[in-house]
Chain A
Amino acid sequence: MKWLDGMTESGTREIASKTSRRGFLGRLAAVLAGGAATIPLLPVARSQESSNPPPGEQGDPTSCEYWRYCAIDGFLCGCCGGSMNSCPPGTEMSPITWIGTCENPVDQKKYIISYNDCCGKSSCGNCLCQRNEGDRPLYRPQVSNDINWCLGTSSNSYHCSTAIVVGTALDE
């Protein structure tokens, strides 16, 4: 599979160079390209100041590669005035949501992640991520990230996504 690695990598670089002039489109393209490749992600979806992870976690919580975001699809609230587990000012957290599990590389434990959306304002526009581990089609809505989960909020306008640890999953 060496030839494919090479192809994808050069393809991704080409995309990066082509899109650098194009604001959010470039970022979107890079996010999508990152999805296509099993190579290290391009320096996208990072806020200007990188933030520190809480105790027991490692990595950059404003990077799509951060462990909690294994099935996130949308804008990271941590780049929008909120955090991994809080909504930006003036938004509303959807109580109805979908729930998945991600493995924390620090302790190799699987944690239960609640991807509550923050709602009531238009798209945050910063730190767009798409990862789909454990995501399933729309007929399994309880594990589908294609859905705008701004349900049960006064406005269904989607703003950004949190990734809240709500528990520890069972050892398989």
Chain B
Amino acid sequence: MALAMGLVPVAGADDHRARINYMIHCQGCHLPEAVGFAGKVPRMNGFAGYFLHSQEGREFLIRVPGVATSSLPDDQLTELMNWLLLTYSAEQLPEPFVPFSVAEVAALRPDLEADPEKTRMRILRQIARGLPSLAVELELISGG
């Protein structure tokens, strides 16, 4: 929380609207507080920020089915993704955090990811090579 408050808010973003959109469009599967469900639905709380440590990971977050095929317009989807990262996974974000732009989201979402599970693990393993905290999370190395 302290970290999240330390980050610069995204200009023009409506946090309340983002929170409501999260509840209506994401929470059914990803659960309140984005905790996910082990083995069925990926956890985003304390995790999603890791993906921004690579360009491919950054793009992946927009190309996963729940995001890409959402009924939200590009601007509200962008706002929601930035809010989600800052609210639930600020600690995992790279420094500096570059928020998603509407143009970026609009360009990425038509390119739906074909095999999210496989791609996800490949991207995470790649990022984990330079990020011990993620490697511990993935149990690639033991956390001491």
Contact = CB atoms under 8 A, between A and B. Distances in A.
Asked whether any CB of A lies within 8 Å of a CB of B in the complex, the reply is yes
Interface of A: 95-101, 112, 114, 140, 142, 151-152, 166-170
Contacts of A96: 28-29, 31, 37, 40-41
A151 B37 CA distance: 10
A166 B41 contact: no
Contacts of B71: 140
B122 interface: no
Interface of B: 16-17, 20, 23-25, 27-29, 31-32, 37, 40-41, 66, 71
The DSSP consensus for interface residues of chain B is: helix
Contacts of A166: 23, 27, 32
A73 to B, nearest CB: 15
Contacts of B40: 96, 151-152
Contact of B27 (A99, A101, A152): A99
A164 to B, nearest CB: 11
B41 A170 contact: no
B37 A169 contact: no
Contacts of A151: 40
Given A96-B37, A152-B40, A169 B28 contact: no
A96 B29 CA distance: 5
Contacts of A142: 25, 28-29, 66
Contacts of A95: 31, 37
26 contacts: A96-B29, A96-B41, A97-B28, A99-B23, A100-B24, A101-B24, A112-B20, A112-B23, A112-B24, A140-B71, A142-B25, A142-B28, A142-B29, A142-B66, A151-B40, A152-B37, A152-B40, A152-B41, A166-B27, A166-B32, A167-B20, A167-B23, A169-B20, A170-B16, A170-B17, A170-B20
